[in-house]
Structure 1
Amino acid sequence: MQQTMRAAWFGFEKHWTWYRRNWRATAVSSFLTPVLFLLAIGIGFGSQVQSTELLGGVPFLQYITPGVIVVTALQGAAFESTYAIMSAFVWQKTYVAMVATPITPAQVFFGQVLWVGAQLFARSVVFLGIAAVLGAVTGPADLLSIPAATLAGLAFSCPLIAYSATLDKPDGFTTIFRFVLIPMSLFTGAYFPVSQLPDWFLPLVWITPAWHGIELARGAAFGTLGLLPALGHVAYLVALTAVGIAFAVRFYHRRLAV
């Protein structure tokens, strides 16, 4: 285990070395776009929305902030788990170069997951800091949105990395973004309570990592989350992550083992 973690850390360092030199290329999509979205929806559109008991009695801007943090993490996870993975396998072949060293395919994957998790955590921290400046947080409990968003992002990222590891062309990514990511971002409670959706649609909401992450983040921020529901949400997200890891390790080994 210690050897695996050390090798995964080497993979993380590879990503960090690239990022610290090229971070400007992703600054807009990673940090600026979510903040502009919060300004447009939370302050612009939110100025026309009256606070009600359904929104927990808080301004619309504060209501959506925990959910937007989670949704932003999932959107970041989607990009880090699709084209970046295919590039490493097919285009730049960095994974091929890595397994030419003593690093195993599984260790390559764990290094990738470590990097994705660090990215999600950092983006959530920056986003929450800017939201606090805008008056979009209710108090210190909003800090719990950061681990909730990170866990939800990993629960989406790991299965998606496993899927990406099976592809040779990026054609399937369009379907993921259009029919999974966008609906999951819009209809899982980030911008309005899911109780407003039709009953037949709710089971589709409940199976998404976004809904579980949003329930964790918002419930913690507003103090409405009980212990058992919290454990249930965490357990579901951990289970999704574990399943994704199991499949990803298998597919990485199948594709990279010589």
Structure 2
Amino acid sequence: MAHPTAAVLEYHLVSYRRTWRSSALSSFILPLLTMLSFGVGVGAYVRGDVAGVPYLDFIVPGLIASTAMQVAIAESTFPVFGNFEWIKIYFSQVAAPLRIADILGGHLGFVLFRILTSTAAFLVTTALFGAVHSWWALAALPVAALLGLAVAAPTFGYAASVPSDNYLAMLFRFAVIPMSLFAGVFFPVESLPGVLRWLAYVSPLWHGVDLIRAATLGVAPAWSVAGHLAYLATWAVAGWLLATARFRRRLTI
């Protein structure tokens, strides 16, 4: 008999087998177009190197990290909210019965699957463009997974707490977009004013960007590897605890 968490993961994988085509554009084609438009298009107008490397080499690892974050957010907002408010799958699962940890763990496992497949495809594509310069680039995959978990876990808790899907749009507007713009994806955070720079350091995305950029370029990150990993793990653990508490409150009668 399969472990209950694995059974929940299998449910999401089977469901995804029917709908994967709808996510292909956002997961694979849009990041590629972003790389071509910014890395190649805008990069042609950037004079000199950025942080000591060509602009394409600088922006690609940031886009890999940003892709991991965006996939994590996309799979942790409306799908989670919908499982509570619209199709109510979570209520069916808890009646099976499954534990809260099984429901949450299986769904987060599916989110990690989506993150890894999306970032792996992006990494292969960027390698074909010559923007990967070290075998350490393979480390980008576990880093992307940890970054995705650091983002997805607290987002699960948030999506389980809000009374309306309007609050999910607010999350994109006030958290996802600022992180995407000011966390070192498109330009070094050192060029930001002091307050904005520290806000970038607080965001999980910057830590993922710094680690993945170091891996693809084969250089040391700006901060310590252990510090980056510990910070992302803290977000993931705190998010898991928050999500567990919110799921238990919603699903326990």
TM-score, with structure 2 as normaliser: 0.95
- Residue by residue over 1:190-214, the C-alpha shift from the partner in whole angstroms, topping out at 9 and shown as x without a partner, is 1111111011211111110000101
Output the aligned Cα RMSD.
1.7
Shift of 1:227: 10
With over 3 angstroms needed to count, the CA separation of the structure-2 counterparts of 1:170 and 1:226, relative to structure 1, is closer
Q: Please list, as runs of the form range in 1=range in 2, the aligned pairs for 1:210-225 lying within 5 A after superposition.
A: 210-225=205-220
Aligned to 2:251: 256
Count of aligned pairs between the two proteins = 253
Q: Please list, as runs of the form range in 1=range in 2, the aligned pairs for 1:174-185 lying within 5 A after superposition.
A: 174-185=169-180
The gaps in structure 2 that reach 5 residues or longer are: none
Within the alignment, does 1:69 sit opposite 2:69 as a pair?
no
Aligned to 2:94: 99
Q: Contact 1:106–1:252 (CA<8 Å) still a contact in 2?
A: no
The one-letter code matched in structure 1 to 2:187 is F
Q: Output the CA distance in 1 between the equivalents of 2:246 and 2:172.
A: 22
Q: Please list, as runs of the form range in 1=range in 2, the aligned pairs for 1:24-35 lying within 5 A after superposition.
A: 24-35=21-32
Aligned to 2:8: 11
Aligned to 2:51: 55
Aligned to 1:193: 188
- Residue by residue over 1:54-104, the C-alpha shift from the partner in whole angstroms, topping out at 9 and shown as x without a partner, is 422x22111111110000111111111110001111101111111111211
Q: Please list, as runs of the form range in 1=range in 2, the aligned pairs for 1:119-198 lying within 5 A after superposition.
A: 119-198=114-193
The one-letter code matched in structure 1 to 2:132 is V
Q: Which of residues 225, 231, 234 in structure 2 aligns to 1:230? A: 225
Shift of 1:228: 7.1
- Residue by residue over 1:15-57, the C-alpha shift from the partner in whole angstroms, topping out at 9 and shown as x without a partner, is 11011121101110111111111110011111111343x422x
Q: Contact 1:86–1:168 (CA<8 Å) still a contact in 2?
A: no
With over 3 angstroms needed to count, the CA separation of the structure-2 counterparts of 1:218 and 1:226, relative to structure 1, is closer
Q: Output the CA distance in 2 between the equivalents of 1:196 and 1:227.
A: 14
Aligned to 1:21: 18
Counting aligned pairs with the same residue, the percent is 37
Q: Output the CA distance in 2 between the equivalents of 1:61 and 1:100.
A: 51
